[in-house]
């Protein structure tokens, strides 16, 4: 009986290890891109956060040296007018959280340089639980 319990414990532990993300993080960020923009102007970055194995988290901020300010925004329609509403934090629940045109996005305000298609730059996302996650962003046309 003890041998059966040991084998079951070992099999269950192996399954849990196999299901865990390879890098130890429960969040994965994919489809990272940004719009082109001119120095002094604005741009926006988009991506998908996949939370498939962890618990709920929150995106607290984003940072990049490519712009004077980096903010999280949500595009909404109010009285027929499109508005961008600053987000202090974005809940990241189990599943996918999409930052996409017409929805959640990261605003790059006061660009320090031109962003041309094919350029890349660094963007760091800071999560409440997962911590800092550096990304490489590629500039492309929508």
Lowest mean pLDDT among 8-17, 79-88, 95-104, 121-130: 8-17
CA dihedral sign, ordered 89, 56, 48, 66: positive
The residues with which 83 forms a beta bridge, in sequence order, are: 76
DSSP one-letter string for 12-23? HHHHHHHHS-TT
Q: Which two tokens stand for residue 105?
A: 């996005």
Q: Which band of pLDDT confidence, cut at 50, 70 and 90, is reported for residue 1?
A: low
Given a contact cutoff of 8 angstroms between Cβ atoms, the answer to whether 101 and 31 are in contact is: no
Q: Which residue spans within the chain are E strands per DSSP?
A: 27-34, 42-51, 57-63, 67-78, 81-86, 90-92, 95-99, 104-111, 120-127, 131-139
The distance of Cα 59 from the centroid of its chain, to the nearest Å, equals 8
How far apart CA 99 and CA 39 sit, in angstroms, is 23
Where would I find the H helices in the chain?
2-19
Q: Mind listing the domains of the chain with CATH numbers?
A: 25-139 (2.60.40.1890)
Per-residue pLDDT reduced to its tens digit, 106-135? 999 999 999 999 999 999 999 999 999 999
Per-residue pLDDT reduced to its tens digit, 27-68? 999 999 999 999 999 999 999 999 987 789 999 999 999 999
């Amino acid at each position: 009986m003890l041998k059966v319990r040991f084998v079951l414990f070992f099999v269950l532990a192996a399954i849990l290890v196999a299901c865990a993300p390879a890098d130890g993080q429960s969040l994965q960020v994919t489809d990272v891109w940004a719009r082109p923009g001119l120095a002094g102007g604005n741009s926006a970055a988009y991506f998908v956060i996949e939370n498939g194995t962890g618990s709920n988290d929150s995106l607290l901020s984003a940072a990049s040296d490519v712009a004077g300010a980096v903010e999280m925004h949500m595009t909404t329609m109010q009285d027929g007018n499109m508005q961008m509403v600053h987000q202090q934090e974005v809940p990241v629940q189990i599943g996918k959280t999409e930052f996409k045109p017409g929805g959640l996005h990261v605003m790059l305000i006061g660009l320090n340089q031109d962003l041309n298609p094919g350029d890349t730059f660094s963007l760091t996302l800071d999560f409440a639980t997962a911590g800092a996650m550096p990304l490489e962003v590629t500039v492309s046309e929508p």
